[in-house]
Amino acid sequence: MKTQTGLSLWIGSANRQTKKLRLGLVSHPAAVLPDLTDAASALLQAGYHLTALFGPEHGFGGAAPDGAPLANTRHSRTGLPIFSLYGETFEPTAEMLSQVDALLFDMQDVGVRFYTYLSTLFYVLRACGRSGKTIYVLDRPNPIGGLKLEGGPVEKGAESFVGIANFPIRHALTLGEAARLLNAEYALGADLQVIAMRGWRRSLWFDQTGLPWVPPSPAMPHLSAATLYPGLCLLEGTPLSLGRGPSLPFEICGAPGLDGETLAAAMNTLHLPGARFRPVSFAPWASKYAGLTCGGVQIHITEREMLSPVSLALHLIAQSRRLLPAWEWNAHFDRLTGGSQVRLALEAGTPVEEILASWDAFLEQFRQISETYRLY
């Protein structure tokens, strides 16, 4: 059975009351119908009264690079205001919300704590709780499935826009389910309505849903990138390039002076489930090491059900530190891992398996809590 998203079900409903409302849409280009009609166009064509648009990181149009702050603007086709939730504010202001009676939230996530659409959802829920506006979350699949949890907690005091809540790195929830958890466990107080999907099961990967893949962010071109992203994104906090410049972001990594042959051999000797490593040479044309030749590896996924990308990435970091004597972390690593503990453990030579085992109790606790909010 083909998965029907919350947007498809909302468009197909005959809810006359909501057609009378002034609606704000929090969305991006990956929020489409199966025929690739974007959410804003689909809603307008169905007779809904959109009065404002809201854009997350990368913008409502999805073109801005990662981390680039965005200003408010206007939608070129409809003339509607686009309010940036990744610029001067992360949270819709009272002035922004004065233009709407309710919000629709429709974004395609990738199931990872530091993918910032989860944080945008948190702030939108909080704003709705404070303003009394209803928020309708139009649910979409978790593209890497809804079964496997990976990663440690966010340490108290280490919260950030890439770690807004104490979720594991790979949290196995849809954004609709995450909204239910955030709203209840963090007492955000929103009048939340989740429009659940039909035909989605937790075991499904995105390419099993029958839905078209539209990149949810500029560096997420394929499902294979999203599959490795929960781990490979951690390299943003290291001296390694994670391939944002070349055409395989999150699937290759390396640095100038790194011996890819040695790194690939070391990684393959570990026999990590679900992956093989091939030495590569690449020259990023953007981001870290732009214009410089890097040695490194490409990660080939051999069995995605067996793959543990967070474990894989920690092993990659541990092996690369041996081969790059001038290793330096940047502050983003602690933000991505949720605090300093992972970095300190790696610096102390703690085996990766021991780091992973230290998360077991947290992951079991999160699994039990999150089951309360599951819809599928």
Quick: pLDDT tens for 214-225.
999 999 999 999
What is the DSSP code string of 78-100? Answer: T--EEEESSSS-SS--HHHHTT-
Question: Which fold, 223-339?
Answer: Aspartate Aminotransferase, domain 1 (3.90.1150)
Per-residue pLDDT band at 53 (split at 50, 70, 90): very high
**Averaged confidence pLDDT in the chain:** 97
Tell me which DSSP letter residue 356 carries: H
Domain 6-214 sits in CATH at: 3.40.50.12170
In this predicted structure, what is the pLDDT of residue 244? 80
Phi-psi region of 331 (alpha: psi -120 to 50; beta: other; left: phi over 0): alpha
Which sequence spans correspond to the domains of the chain?
Answer: 6-214, 223-339
Q: Which of 14, 129, 348, 323 is nearest to 340 (CA)?
A: 348
Measure the CA–CA gap between 134 and 148, rounded to whole angstroms.
31
Q: Is the pLDDT of residue 360 over 90?
A: yes
Q: Is the pLDDT of residue 151 over 80?
A: yes
Q: Which of 161, 148, 201 is nearest to 57 (CA)?
A: 161
In this predicted structure, what is the pLDDT of residue 237? 97
* Helix segments in the chain, DSSP class H: 6-12, 16-19, 39-45, 94-97, 117-131, 175-185, 223-232, 260-269, 309-323, 332-337, 341-347, 352-357, 360-371
In this predicted structure, what is the pLDDT of residue 245? 76
Quick: pLDDT tens for 250-272.
999 999 999 999 999 999 999 99
Per-residue pLDDT band at 246 (split at 50, 70, 90): confident
Measure the CA–CA gap between 281 and 51, rounded to whole angstroms.
49
What is the DSSP code string of 281-349? Answer: EE--SSSTTTTS-EEEEEEEES-TTT--HHHHHHHHHHHHHHH-TT----THHHHHHTSSHHHHHHHTT
pLDDT over 90 percentage in the chain: 95
The residue behind tokens 């990594």 is 253
Measure the CA–CA gap between 175 and 138, rounded to whole angstroms.
9
Q: Is the pLDDT of residue 353 over 80?
A: yes
In this predicted structure, what is the pLDDT of residue 247? 79
In this predicted structure, what is the pLDDT of residue 311? 98
Higher pLDDT: 244 or 358? It is 358
Quick: pLDDT tens for 199-210.
999 999 999 999
Measure the CA–CA gap between 106 and 331, rounded to whole angstroms.
31
Q: Which of 224, 227, 229, 231 is nearest to 310 (CA)?
A: 231
In this predicted structure, what is the pLDDT of residue 17? 82
- Among the listed ranges 188-197, 198-207, 230-239, 240-249, which one has the minimum average pLDDT value? 240-249
Quick: pLDDT tens for 278-336.
999 999 988 899 999 999 999 999 999 999 999 999 999 999 999 998 899 999 999 99
